[in-house]
Amino acid sequence: MPTNSFDHYPMSWKPDKDLLKRPVYQSLAALLEQDIANGFLVPGTKLPPQRELADFLDLNFTTITRAYKLAESRGLIYAVTGSGTFVAPNAARSVTITADHRENLIDLAFVASFEQTNTLVTDAIRNVTDKRYVDQLLNYQDPTGIPHQKAAALNWMDRFGIQAAPDNVAIVSGAQNALAVVMAALFEPGSRIATDQFTYANFIELARIFHVQLIPIAGDGAGMSPRELDRQCRLSAIHGIFLMPSCCNPTTVMMTEERKNELADVIRKHGLILIEDDIHAFLTADVLPGYGQPLFSMLPDQTVYICGTSKSICSGLRVAYIAFGDAFRDKIIQAVFNINVKTSSFDAEVITELITSGQVQQIVLEKKRLAEEANEIYRRYFSFNPITEHPLSFYRWLKIPGHHSATQLESALKERGVRVFHSDRFLNASTSADKYLRVGLSSTDTLEELEIGLKILKEYLDG
C-alpha cells in the first residue's frame, strides 16, 4: 500500500520515515522512545498493528517486529495477546524516591526508620572495632557473608518463619541492592513481573533499568487478587511476581494467611519466580496473629525472600539478607559477586553483634513504640483501618480528592514547608481513578515536628 494513502488514516503513531536511519529497526525504536519521552504517546496508548505500521512506512514487516521487540526489551511497550501493543505505564516518567533533604522542610515523603534510634547502635560499633579479628572484616573473603554472620542472619529470619540452609543465604547491601541482584540474576530484558497496582516506586525504576515489564494486578484489602493474577498469566507470559506481604509499600495492606495460600496456588500453577520483599516483617511478628507464615515457607523452590535490616535495625549500615531455593543459588551468588563483589563485612558484623547480643530487641521495641505514637498522632488528623492497614506502619496511605494533580499538590505543599509524595509515583498502571498520598511518619527529627507537618497537610487538603 503506498505511503501517502495513510495521510488521513487514523493511526495512534505516525513516525516520520525521513528520520529513519540504518539499522532501521533501531532507529524506529529510538523514534518511539523519543515520542514517548516528549509526551506524544502517553502510557496506555495502543500502538498501530505491526503490519499496518509496515504498510504506512513502506517497510518490511520483520523490521517493525524487531523494532517493537527492542522497544519492549527497554520497558517502553508491552503486548497483550489478542489485544495489541501498548505504551508501558512508566515508560515516560521517573518515579525514583530519594531522601532529598532540604532545610526548613518537614519531610512526610521519604520513609526513614526513626533515625533517633541510631544512638542505640553505637556501642555495637565500638565492640566490633575492639574484636581481635577486626582486620579480617576488611578483605575480599566470603563474598556472600562470613559463616557466623550467616548464622546470625538465619537466627534473625527464623523469628519470621524462614528456614534455610547457610548455602542458600546471602548478605547484601540493603533491600534495594537485593532487588537489583535478583533482577540481574533471574530475569532477562523483556521479562514480565506482576506487581500490585500501586507498588514500591524504586522497584518500578529498577524494572526500567533492567528493561523488565511490570504488569499491574488489581487487589483488595487482603492483598493482590489471585483470580486477576491467574487471568493475566493466561493472557500473556508472566515470569515473576513481586510482593510485600507484611506491609505493602505504599498501601500498608497486610496480606492475610488465606490470601497467601490462594496466591501460592496461582504462583505454583504458573511456575512464577516470587520476589518476597518482607522488610516490614519485624513490625508484624508477635504483634498481629492470623497473618501466617511467609510465602517462602509455602514455595521455597520458587521464592527469593528479602529481609532488610534498614527499617528494623539501622538504615545507614545497608545490610539485608536474601534466602533462596537451590535452583537459584548459582545465579544469585554470581550476581552478588558481579554487582557488589561483596557487602561490607564490617557493617554486617555490626548487625551480627546487635542480633547475637540481644540488643536488637531494644532497638525494635523502641521503633515500635515510636511507630505507635506516630500513628496515634496521625489519627488526630486522618483515619485508617487497622484491620486491613498495618497499625504500626512507618507510613500511611491517604486518599485525597481526585482533582489534585501530583505536580501541583507536591509543589503547593513544598511552598507551605511540607514534603509529600503523590500516588502517581507508585502507580504501575496508565491511570487510576483514586488518588492518594503516601504520608511518611518516620522521617521527622521529632514527633512534635511530625504533628506540625500533619496539621499543615490537613489544613491544605481541607482548604
Average pLDDT on 446-452 reads 96
Given a cut of 60, whether residue 1 has pLDDT beyond it is no
What element of type H or E holds 439? strand 435-440
- Report the C-alpha gap between 461 and 456 in whole angstroms: 9
Among 4, 16, 88, residue whose Cα is nearest residue 47: 88
Residue 233 to residue 81: CA distance in whole angstroms: 11
The domain defined by 3-87 carries CATH number 1.10.10.10: yes
* CATH class as words, domain 121-358: alpha beta
**Looking at the predicted structure, is the pLDDT value of residue 428 above 90?**
no
Length of the chain: 463
Give residue-wise pLDDT tens across range 135-156: 999 999 999 999 999 999 999 9
Is pLDDT of 402 > 90?
Answer: no
Cross-strand pairs, 263: none
63 vs 69: CA distance, rounded Å: 10
Task: Say what the pLDDT of residue 345 is.
Answer: 96
Q: Are 128 and 357 a contacting pair, CB within 8 Å? A: no
pLDDT at residue 2 in the model: 47
Q: Biggest alpha carbon distance in the chain? A: 81
Q: Is residue 138 exposed (0-12), middle (13-18) or buried (19+ Cβ within 10 Å)?
A: exposed
Pairing type for strands 421-422 and 192-196 reads unpaired
The helix (H) or strand (E) run that includes residue 418 is: strand 418-419
String of DSSP letters for 374-433:
HHHHHHTT----TTTB-TT-SEEEEEE-TT--HHHHHHHHHHTTEE-EEGGGGB-SS--S
Domain boundaries, the chain: 3-87, 106-117+361-462, 121-358
pTM for this one? 0.82
pLDDT higher at 25 or 99 = 25
Structural contact between residues 248 and 389, judged by C-beta atoms closer than 8 angstroms:
no
Q: State the average pLDDT for the chain.
A: 90
User: Helix, strand or coil for residue 175?
Assistant: helix
- CB-side neighbour CA atoms (13 Å) of 247: 22
Contact 355, 307 (CB under 8 A): no
> Which of 98, 107, 113, 110 has its CA nearest to residue 364?
113
Rounded distance between C-alpha atoms, residue 151 and residue 166, angstroms: 7
Residue that is written with C-alpha cell 540474576 in the block: 185
| pLDDT at residue 3 greater than cutoff 50 | no
Quickly count: other Cβ atoms within 10 Å of residue 60's Cβ. 12
* CATH class belonging to 106-117+361-462: alpha beta
Q: Which of 445, 357, 400, 442 is CA-nearest to residue 156?
A: 357
Cis check: omega of the bond before 147, within 30 degrees of 0: no
Q: What is the pLDDT of residues 353-374, one digit of tens each?
A: 999 999 999 999 999 999 999 9
Query: With 50 as the cut, is the pLDDT of residue 92 above it?
Result: yes
Sign of CA dihedral 259, 264, 270, 276: positive
- DSSP for 211-230 reads T-EEEEE-EETTEE-HHHHH
352-370 in b/e form (b: 16+ CB < 10 A) is bbbbbeebbeebbeebbeb
More confident residue, 177 or 386: 177
Q: Which of 55-69, 198-212, 269-283, 421-435 is the least confident region?
A: 421-435
Mean pLDDT to the nearest integer, 174-178: 97
**CB 80 within 8 Å of CB 232:** no
pLDDT at 388: 84
Residue 433 pLDDT greater than 60, yes or no: yes
Nearest-angstrom CA–CA distance, 285 and 163: 15
300 versus 285: the higher-pLDDT residue is 300
Mean local confidence (pLDDT), 113-117: 92
Strand 219-220 to 106-107 pairing: unpaired
End-to-end CA distance of the chain: 58
DSSP E strand boundaries for 266-344: 273-277, 303-308, 320-324
Average pLDDT estimate for 86-113: 74
Calculate mean pLDDT across residues 376-388: 92
- In the predicted model, is pLDDT for residue 351 greater than 60? yes
Phi, psi of 106 (to 5 degrees): -80, 120
Unique residue bearing C-alpha cell 528479602: 306
